[in-house]
Amino acid sequence: MNYNNVASYSVNLTDNEAKDILKQIIPKAVKFYGVFNGTGSFKLDKTKTIPGEPNYAQVIDEKITSIEDLKKWVEETFTKDVAQTVFFSRYLTPGIGSLPLYKDYEGKLYNDTGNGGHGWAFDYLTDTAKVISQKDNVAVVELDRTLFNNPDIKLTLRIEYINDKWKLASRLD
Q: Tell me the pLDDT tens digit for each residue of 32-76.
A: 888 887 666 689 999 999 999 999 999 999 999 999 999 999 999
Specify the DSSP class assigned to residue 48. E
Calpha distance 142→164 (Å, rounded): 23
Calpha distance 74→31 (Å, rounded): 10
When pLDDT is cut at 50, 70 and 90, the band that residue 119 belongs to is low
Q: CB–CB of 58/110 below 8 Å?
A: yes
